Amino acid sequence: MDFFEAQARAKKRTSRLVELFSLAVLGTIAAGYFGAVFLTRQIPDEVGRSRQRSGRYSQPSTLSSQLSASPSPSLWQPQLLALVSLGTLAVIGLASLYKWHEFSAGGSAVAESVGGRRVDPHTTDLAERRLLNVVEEMALASGVPMPAVFVLDDEPAINAFAAGLSTADAVVAVTRGTLEKLTRDELQGVIGHEFSHILNGDMRLNLRITSLIFGILVLGLAGRGILWSLRGSRFSSSRDSKNSGGILIAIGAVGLGLMVIGYVGYFFGRLIQAAVSRQREFLADASAVQFTRNPTGLGGALKKIGGLALGSSLQSSKSAAIGHFFFAQSFRSNFGGLWATHPPLAERIRAIEPTFDGAFIEPPQVIDVAQESFVTAGLAPAASANRQSAIASRQFSPDSAIASAGQLTPALLADAQDLLASLPPRLLTAARSPAEAPILLYGLLLDPDDEATQRRQLALIASRAGGDALHLLADLDVSLRELGPDQKLPLLQLALPALKSLQPTALAPFFAILDELVHADGRVSPFEFALQKLLLRNLAASHAPAAPVTQIYSFQAVAPEIAVVLSVLAHASAHDSATAYAAGAAQLKLLEGRLSPPTTRADLAALDAALDKLATASGPIKQRLLTAAAHVVTSDGEINVEEYELLRAIAAALDVPLPPLAR
């Protein structure tokens, strides 16, 4: 299943989820309505009896006398139904929006809500360093921005989760038990499972489920609050107290009704949550095995969960609300398998290891990473014949390049390991540091061929960023000169978590310096455009991950923008731009005969504007456009790094991750 199919399926699951929760809300409204009808039948009698006990029943003209003398209200009361419906929808809607607003800060907010601590990129803890290394490999291989990594220090069980609204704000979090009790292969299997959720669009769906369930739960919480507010009420023998008795009883009945209705709706909402979650876990397991080609890694992690007394259960009570996020069941269900968010461990293991005999593994207290070799500790990729053949098997073609979008394969993973190992250690250190990452990007933009331009750029950095920035650039200079063209954008990819941690006040001057460095020679190269576009797109998405996106479903509606993209690529990648443009246009059958190149040569500024609109297009439009773009850059029978990185930048602007070019 390719990236676009996975995204379409995620959208379909979201539609189905909305339908199921709509039924749950309708059921809640129905229960609330019949409860309200019951109360309207009981309250007049209760008020009347209270008045009679107080000696005031001799006034037949009072409202209470009229109510008690009138017949019982009908079961069908349209006005009451409308009132209950509006009230229920308002409470559920506002509560769900409130919870969604909490999540709008992105995956980091979710991780911190359950006690997550962000891992320092410069950590000296070998287990944490191994975790970062595995996540970096997965990010490079899949082409997604490097997620922030969190550890739940107070959780000794084995578990993990991925959270976020998009790949730009995604986080991966693991428990302390996962770090201490899993080998490198087992950890890789768990992280591969979580990356499947990232690539398949499951994270946003998980947050929607949590918001909707919270909205239904608020009804129950409101009812419980009403009952709690009445806990100090006392009834005396005075006439006024007797008169108010019926009203207090009515309020208590309303509170009890709300609590019962809310918790009943919450019960069924959790059933829906569990059913949706269980279906996706088998797919994520299969994807993780496909990524790593190592079923014993993922299987070993699941067997250790079964053999550990704590298993995968978390101590924090807050974890139950996001239980469907986790790698394994994070709480003990009070309703057996009904609320279970994950299939039984034995079923999951047999799905990837059909010969499983039912025997679990009792994990060691701590796997001593310090006693492992540099490779088995996860700090360097292992060299093997299979790994080398995997790298050698990667062949570039336009169709295969787009088919690799959002995919993780053994070949991509092996290539990412090779790429990560080849990056100069000093530059990796700078990429992981919030203080040094901006200076590293300045260094990537220095012109290596024109000394005059480079002097202007260095003078600009000195005047705008200060002498310390120049000293750091001098320290990085030797390593920067060692970089190949295929290593520059991967460094940016690894630097994104550090850059995202910059304060908003520091971003504006940082962007201004970058822009001046790009334009120092009076032109913008494809690499410079790619770096700026990737950076700005990811930082903007990380700061506003919940921003709404309008979907465009008509190819004709974006035909001018598609023409701009193909035209810019044709002029940037081939001597015969007309032939290159025609090669791409031929892939867009729905626009055949209507896709003329721009009358004036489109520049990178026009491309930037076109991509902003195309980012709101539907999946099928993006897929066909990227396929056409890949045919443009390979129209001369070959592709170089600069051409491919421009293609990657275009794909990233459309929220489609492409892996690096095979080394």
> Could you tell me the CA-to-CA distances from 364 to 177, 182, 229, 504, 548 in Å, in that order?
10, 9, 50, 44, 47
Asked if 48 and 57 count as a contact pair (C-beta separation under 8 A), the reply is yes
Phi, psi of 439 (to 5 degrees): -65, -35
Options 128, 186, 194, 645, the catalytic residue: 194
Distances in Å between the Cα of 438 and the Cα atoms of 35, 65, 504, 517, 576 are 61, 78, 14, 13, 38
CA distances from 408 to 34, 200, 411 (A): 52, 11, 8
Between CA 144 and CA 658 the distance in angstroms is 7
Give start and end residues of each alpha helix (H) in 501-598: 504-518, 526-543, 559-573, 577-585
- CB count within 10 Å of CB 642 equals 17
Contact 162, 198 (CB under 8 A): yes
Q: What share of the chain is helix, strand, coil (3-state, %, to 5)?
A: 65, 5, 30
Quick check: 635 and 583 in contact, CB under 8 A?
Answer: yes
112 flagged as catalytic: no
At position 437, the amino acid (one-letter code) is A
Closest by Cα among 166, 418, 408, 379 to 287: 408
Q: 194 exposed, middle or buried (CB, 10 Å; 0-12, 13-18, 19+)?
A: buried
Backbone φ, ψ for residue 159 (5° rounding)? -165, 170
Q: Is 346 exposed, middle or buried (0-12, 13-18, 19+ CB in 10 A)?
A: middle
Q: Which of helix, strand or coil describes residue 150?
A: strand
Task: Select from 341, 309, 346 the least CA-distant residue to 328.
Answer: 341
In whole angstroms, give the CA distance from residue 623 to residue 2: 10
- 8 Å CB contact between 50 and 243: yes
Tell me the catalytic residues.
194
